[in-house]
Structure 1
Amino acid sequence: MIDIVTGGSGFLGLNFIENYKYDLSNLFVIKHRNILEKYKNNFIDLDTLETTIQNRKEKIRIYHFATLYSLDENYKSEIYESNLNFGKRLFQYIPTELIDSIIYTNTMFSFNELHKNSSYVTSKNMFSKYLKESFDNEIIFEVFLDNTFGHNDNRDKIIPIIFEAVRKGKPNPVKNKEVYLNFTNVLDVIEYLNENKFEKNSFKLVSNKNHNLFSIFESLNEYNLSPIKKINPILNKDSSFTLDSPPTPKDFNNRNFEESIQQSFKDFINLQPAN
């Protein structure tokens, strides 16, 4: 089996590659920028994909992680280029008869009234529609993700922002004490995708709990000052999603959130350059 991965320099793709458990000679990562020296021979340009695989007769599995996340409509053209047009070009280079499966990550914002009409969500769902109109739907596995966190996370998102505030001894960047969000450890997502034993063709990989942003900072701040001390727990409540969202697989495993967030914080600290 040949595995083709897009978005290999992004958060999800980077973690997927670093935890890839099959033969590396069968892994091809579409190059945006190669930031992994160990896997430099696995990165290829989109324009050379066809010639790279033309003499290979194995079936092909595609993990399409490439995405541009932005809710800023000033970047509308870039959003559509990354989330729709790039994916369409990708499949022009891959023989349809050799495709075994397509694993495509979509967004839980698709079920959010506030964001579902944004260019980001619209472009993601237009690509989903393109896949379903172009290929056998039985080989398409659409994975809906909410907020992810974990190893190698330097994105401009709330968890790294909280980490940085704790690291630098700054005030809590979360001002509203009532905000709860759903968070999933990226390694839980990667482990599930690596198994390739999907129950359904459309599913969400989310936590069954939402966690309070304000208390994440407060808890990590205590942990940073004294890791061995018993710290205040992070507040949580049961998650709730709209009825039209797809199910979460029964065998999807969520790590303990407090332990995961502490480990992710330590990883974040280790990634920062020395002062």
Structure 2
Amino acid sequence: MKNKLYNEFAGYYAKLTSNRDFKNQIALILNTYDHENPCKTFIELFAGQAVHSIEAIQRTGIDVWAADSSPEMKLLAISEGFENPDQYIVGELPGSMIQTGDVKFDCVACLYSAFSALPMQEVFELLKKIKQALSSHGKLFIELHDIVDTMEYIANPIISYKEVAGTREERIKYAWPSAKINWDRYSHTAEVPVQLIIQSPESNDTIEFISTDHIYSAEEIIFMANLLDYECKIRTTDQLWLEVFDRGIVLELTLR
């Protein structure tokens, strides 16, 4: 994740991205495992504040890992309940996957449209590395953008501000996007302007940055996964998954 807010103002980014049903998302994922082969090892990639990982920690018997590029996000995760700092890897993916050593994972989670941070070649490389790290009954869960929202905004760019809780004296408002999206029709890459306004009795600060998102279809990811001999399933054809992963598309990949 290479943007100013994520790298320099991790705490604010965490507040903007905390409006998800983390508990039920993890419940749906872990409930796909049967009693004979439960999930015992879990890693969340592009973990950020690692809320999904912390939810997994609440389930007894799961060895939980996380990986992200941001040292600030690791500190946030630890403060919120990530129990083993040595198992939160800081480094750029896909390369940092090697830091998990010989651990084989029953579950690898790439949620919140995390693949959008990578160009296609790096997505393919990450899929290869994940395959090597999966256990014999391992599963990879990938959440993708529902491109409908992006296309609707490009067609009708109405800017709206939302508010999230800050500290007791802070008010935080943001617009994501805050201006016209720069859309590359050839690579399906979106450069999304974002504005964050932090108001307090002492100051009124504005942070502006560009979030660069590579928009992948389910078909593109499934095509790459098939080249690597994964079995693929679209989970959000099920209404419950569609409701819990609002505005997302979830794929489940397993070893053939």
TM-score by length of 2: 0.40
**Comparing both structures, which one devotes a greater share of its residues to helix?**
1
Larger radius of gyration: 1
**Comparing both structures, which one devotes a greater share of its residues to strand?**
2
